[in-house]
C-alpha cells in the first residue's frame, strides 16, 4: 500500500477501506508516513468528508494507536461527560459529585485549559492541597469507595490524535466534522467509559458557531459512539454568552459549591440537570428523565451532593473546609466594577471575547507554558435579557493588577445594550442517533 494512492483516492471522493485507514494511522503514528503526506490527506478529508464507516474506522484506529484504560475493576456503569469547550463552563465540577452521590461511578480524566476555555484540573487546583497526580490503582480505589475521582491525563493515550491534532492546527484542517468527531471520540473511548454524554456547545464562545454545525458534529459523534457499543447522547447547549456568572478558577469553584447547594445560577443549574438526567438514565438508575431529574434535585436538597464533594476533595488531598468557608479560596486584590454606560437591556455578551478578557487578567493560558493566577477572573453581574441602568455594574473584574484599562475596553466592545433583549434558549437540541 502507498500513502500517495490513498491521498489521491480520498482527493477524488473515494471511500477508504478499514485496512487502508489502519495503514494510514499506523504509519503516521510510527513515523513512516511523513507530516506532509498526512496534511495532504487531512485536507482531502476536509473537502471530501468521510462516510459513517470511515469515521468509525478512523476513530478506532486512533484508539488503538496507544494505550486504553481499563475501568472494568470499577463496578457499575461508567458514564463520562465531555464538553466541546466553553467559557465559564463549571458543569463538570458540579456534575462529578452530583452524579456520584446517586452511586454512579464518575471516573474522570481531565485536562488543563488553553485559550479562552478553562480546564477542570486548573479549577480544582485552586483548592489548597488538591492534586490529580495519583496512580491508576489509587484512582480506581477512590472511585470504588467514594464513586468519584479525577486524574490528570496520564500515559500514552491516542498518540495518533495528539500528533494529528497538532498537525491540523497548523495546516488549516481543524474544521472538519469527521476529523473533530473522531478526535474527540477516540479520547473518550480510550478513557474507558461505557456510555458518554456530550455537551456540544453552539454560539460565539463555541467551536461550532451555528446550531446547524453543532448538530452535524453532535450527530457524527453520537453515531461513532453507538456504532462501537458505547451508548452516546449529545446535548446541544448555548454558548452565545458565558455559562453562569463566574469565569475563572477559584470563583468557578465557589460557583460550583453554590450550585451543589441549590443556590447556583439558573442556566448552569438547568444545564447540569439536563446533562445529569441523561447520565442517570444511561446508568440505569432512573426510569425516565423526569425521574432522574427528581433524584438529582433530591440529593442537592438533602445535602448529599455537597457532602460527596467534600469527601472527594479530601480524598485527593484538598482542603474541604473551603466548602463551608469559600473565603479560604485564593482571593484577588482588586474587585473592579465595570458600569453600564446607558439604560436598557443586555442583548449580547460575546462569550469568546469575554473569555479572552478573563485570560488576559491571568485566569487562562495563551501558551501551554503560561502560569495562571487562580484568584482572578470575571464575575458577570448581568446576563443576556437582563435590564440594566446606567452606572450599574455589568460585571466585576477580579484582578491582581490595577492597570486594566485595555481589558475594560475589551469588555465594553463585547457587551451590547439594546432597547429590548430576550433570554437565549439554553438547550437547543438532544441528539440520540
Answer yes or no whether residue 90 interacts with Ca ion by CB under 5 A: yes
| Interface segment toward Ca ion; rule CB under 5 A; list 44-52, 225-233, 242-250, 276-284 | 242-250
| Residue least distant from ligand URA (Cβ) | 183
Answer yes or no: 82 catalytic: yes
230 contacts 195 by C-beta, under 8 angstroms = yes
Interior/surface letters 263-298, b for 16+ CB within 10 angstroms, e for the rest: ebbebbbebbbbbbbbbbbbbebbeeeeebbebbee
Residues 140-169 interacting with ligand URA (rule: CB under 6 A)? 165
- Dist. CA 201–CA 105, nearest whole Å: 25
State the nearest-atom distance from the C-beta of 176 to ligand URA, in Å.
8
Parallel/antiparallel/unpaired status of strands 427-431 and 231-238: antiparallel
Answer yes or no whether residue 183 interacts with ligand URA by CB under 6 A: yes
Answer yes or no: 183 catalytic: yes
Answer yes or no whether residue 209 interacts with ligand URA by CB under 6 A: no
Residue choice 246, 256, 358, 404 for contact with Ca ion (CB under 5 A): 246
Answer yes or no whether residue 244 interacts with Ca ion by CB under 5 A: yes
Q: Which does 379 bind (CB under 5 to 8 A by kind): Ca ion, ligand URA, none?
A: none
Of 29 and 91, nearer to Ca ion (C-beta) is 91
Answer yes or no: 19 catalytic: no
- Dist. CA 158–CA 392, nearest whole Å: 49
Q: Which does 113 bind (CB under 5 to 8 A by kind): ligand URA, Ca ion, none?
A: none
State the nearest-atom distance from the C-beta of 74 to Ca ion, in Å.
29
**Per-residue contact string for residues 53-82; x = within reach of ligand URA by CB under 6 A:** ------------------------------
- Dist. CA 129–CA 62, nearest whole Å: 35
Answer yes or no whether residue 184 interacts with ligand URA by CB under 6 A: yes
- Dist. CA 13–CA 271, nearest whole Å: 40
State the nearest-atom distance from the C-beta of 117 to ligand URA, in Å.
10
Size, binding site for Ca ion by CB under 5 A: 5
Answer yes or no whether residue 180 interacts with ligand URA by CB under 6 A: yes
Of 246 and 388, nearer to Ca ion (C-beta) is 246
Of 149 and 177, nearer to ligand URA (C-beta) is 177
Q: Which does 165 bind (CB under 5 to 8 A by kind): ligand URA, Ca ion, none?
A: ligand URA
Active-site residue list: 82, 161, 168, 183, 187
Binding stretches for ligand URA (CB under 6 A):
165, 174, 179-180, 183-184
Binding stretches for Ca ion (CB under 5 A):
88, 90, 243-244, 246
Amino acid at each position: 500500500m502507498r500513502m500517495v494512492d490513498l491521498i489521491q483516492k480520498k482527493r477524488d471522493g473515494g471511500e477508504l477501506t478499514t485496512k487502508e485507514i489502519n495503514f494510514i494511522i499506523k504509519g503516521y503514528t510510527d513515523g513512516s508516513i511523513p507530516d506532509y503526506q498526512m496534511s495532504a490527506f487531512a485536507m482531502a478529508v476536509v473537502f471530501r468528508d468521510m462516510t459513517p464507516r470511515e469515521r468509525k474506522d478512523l476513530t478506532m484506529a486512533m484508539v488503538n494507536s496507544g494505550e486504553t484504560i481499563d475501568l472494568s475493576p470499577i463496578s457499575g456503569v461508567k458514564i463520562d461527560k465531555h464538553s466541546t469547550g466553553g467559557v465559564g463552563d463549571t458543569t463538570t465540577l458540579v456534575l462529578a459529585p452530583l452524579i456520584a452521590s446517586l452511586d454512579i461511578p464518575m471516573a474522570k480524566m481531565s485536562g488543563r485549559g488553553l485559550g479562552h476555555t478553562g480546564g477542570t484540573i486548573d479549577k480544582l487546583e485552586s483548592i489548597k492541597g488538591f492534586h490529580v497526580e495519583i496512580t491508576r490503582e489509587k484512582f480506581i480505589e477512590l472511585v470504588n469507595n467514594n464513586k468519584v475521582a479525577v486524574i490528570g491525563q496520564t500515559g500514552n493515550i491516542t498518540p495518533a490524535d495528539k500528533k494529528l491534532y497538532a498537525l491540523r492546527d497548523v495546516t488549516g484542517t481543524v474544521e472538519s466534522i469527521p476529523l473533530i468527531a473522531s478526535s474527540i471520540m477516540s479520547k473518550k473511548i480510550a478513557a474507558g467509559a461505557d456510555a458518554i454524554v456530550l455537551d456540544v456547545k453552539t454560539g460565539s464562545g463555541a467551536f461550532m458557531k451555528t446550531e446547524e454545525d453543532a448538530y452535524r458534529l453532535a450527530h457524527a459523534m453520537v453515531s461513532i459512539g453507538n456504532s462501537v457499543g458505547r451508548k452516546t447522547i449529545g446535548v446541544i447547549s448555548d454558548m452565545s454568552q458565558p455559562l453562569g456568572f463566574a469565569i475563572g478558577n477559584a470563583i468557578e469553584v465557589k460557583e460550583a459549591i453554590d450550585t451543589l447547594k441549590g443556590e447556583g445560577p439558573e442556566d448552569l443549574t438547568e444545564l447540569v440537570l439536563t446533562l445529569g438526567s441523561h447520565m442517570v438514565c444511561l446508568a440505569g438508575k432512573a426510569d425516565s428523565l423526569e425521574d432522574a431529574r427528581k433524584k438529582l434535585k433530591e440529593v442537592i436538597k438533602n445535602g448529599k451532593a455537597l457532602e460527596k464533594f467534600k469527601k472527594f476533595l479530601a480524598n485527593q488531598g484538598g482542603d474541604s473546609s473551603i466548602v463551608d468557608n469559600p473565603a479560604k479560596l485564593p482571593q484577588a486584590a482588586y474587585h473592579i466594577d465595570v458600569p453600564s454606560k446607558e439604560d436598557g437591556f443586555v442583548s449580547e455578551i460575546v462569550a469568546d471575547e469575554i473569555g479572552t478578557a478573563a485570560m488576559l487578567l491571568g485566569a487562562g493560558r495563551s501558551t501551554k507554558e503560561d502560569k495562571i493566577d487562580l484568584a482572578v477572573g470575571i464575575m458577570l453581574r448581568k446576563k443576556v435579557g437582563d435590564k440594566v441602568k446606567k452606572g450599574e455594574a455589568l460585571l466585576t473584574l477580579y484582578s491582581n493588577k490595577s492597570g486594566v484599562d485595555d481589558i475594560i475596553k475589551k469588555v465594553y466592545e463585547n457587551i451590547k445594550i439594546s432597547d429590548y433583549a430576550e433570554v437565549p434558549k439554553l438547550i437547543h437540541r438532544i441528539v440520540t442517533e
